[in-house]
Structure 1
Amino acid sequence: MPLAFPLLAGPGAITAVIISLETMGLVTTVLSIVLAIAATYVTLRYSDRIYRILGRRGSLIVTRVFAVFVAAIAVQYVVEGVKVLFAL
């Protein structure tokens, strides 16, 4: 549980909110925050049931798939930053 807090409200999450606010606007950003909070609540609330369904191996697979997903988002941010940096 303590590792979840830096991921939910750490520098990466704050940066994502700032970028979303600048590119998508206030309504979309607030809606995405509310959806993230709801998804987090449901996931944490039913984590024991989810783990029983997935099992140990399924949990490891889901963890690795989401790690690749987060890495892809990070690469996208870096590429966009480099584009903006060299476009000026």
Structure 2
Amino acid sequence: MDFDVSFKAVASVSLILFSVIDIIGSIPIIIDLREKEGKIQSGKATIVAGIIMIIFLALGKKLLGLFGIDVSSFAIAGAIILFLLGLEMILGIVLFKSEAEEEGSGSIVPLAFPLIAGAGSMTTIISLKSEYSNFSILLGIIINLLFVYLVLKSSGWIQKKLGQGGANILRKVFGIILLAIAIKLFKTNI
């Protein structure tokens, strides 16, 4: 692993990943999942998302190549999932039902993947490798995961502060934004 690291590089990687992961913009989805599941397993979701991103940092292109999948196809698949999540938020319908008997399975799908560690963050990680050291990217991932954990952990408090009306408005607005991000991802990679 390349240990070439600078504060500027780590800050840049962290900010780029922060904007792609968009955990603040995902608050309505998190609140929605919290209402469906009863609770969010913050630690579990953060750890799973972290493992996915770190594996993708180390083996991303090779893993996709192993299945004969290019980065664009992967991004389009992620865009479709984001599109469906956006539709759920706007229309108030349920497309992603928890099929597992395990309580809190929503903490893994769709929260850890594809919301936190989705096609956007994975393609960004691959792109960042051309400009930054793996160690800088790893530190950026860890910084973002700490922030993700804090947001997930405080989702109940955030929900109380917003109230039902505020949560509904936020859900609709960010549903439209999520649809726009999905369409942009789709258009860029088609």
Cα deviation digits, residues 28-59 of structure 1 (max 9, x gap): 8553x345423321211211211111011211
User: Match for residue 85 of structure 1?
Assistant: none
What's the offset of the Cα at 1:12? 5.0
153, 173, 178: which one pairs with 1:65? 173
Distance in 2, matches of 1:52 and 1:58, equals 10
Residues 1:26 and 2:97 are matched in the alignment: no
Alignment of 1:3-42 (within 5 A): 3-6=110-113, 7-11=115-119, 13-18=121-126, 20-21=127-128, 25-26=131-132, 31=140, 33-42=141-150
Alpha-carbon distance change, 4 to 55 in structure 1, aligned in 2, over 3 angstroms: same
Residues 1:47 and 2:122 are matched in the alignment: no
User: Match for residue 86 of structure 1?
Assistant: none
Distance in 2, matches of 1:16 and 1:68, equals 22
**Larger RCO (CA under 8 A, 6+ residues apart):** 2
Structure 2, unaligned runs of 5 or more? 1-39, 41-105
Alpha-carbon distance change, 66 to 22 in structure 1, aligned in 2, over 3 angstroms: farther
Alpha-carbon distance change, 52 to 39 in structure 1, aligned in 2, over 3 angstroms: same
Structure 1, unaligned runs of 5 or more? 83-88
User: Match for residue 79 of structure 1?
Assistant: 187
Distance in 2, matches of 1:63 and 1:17, equals 28
TM-score using structure 2 length: 0.33
What's the offset of the Cα at 1:81? 2.4
Instruction: Give the superposed CA RMSD.
Output: 2.9
Distance in 1, matches of 2:124 and 2:177, equals 15
What's the offset of the Cα at 1:17? 3.1
Distance in 2, matches of 1:16 and 1:60, equals 30
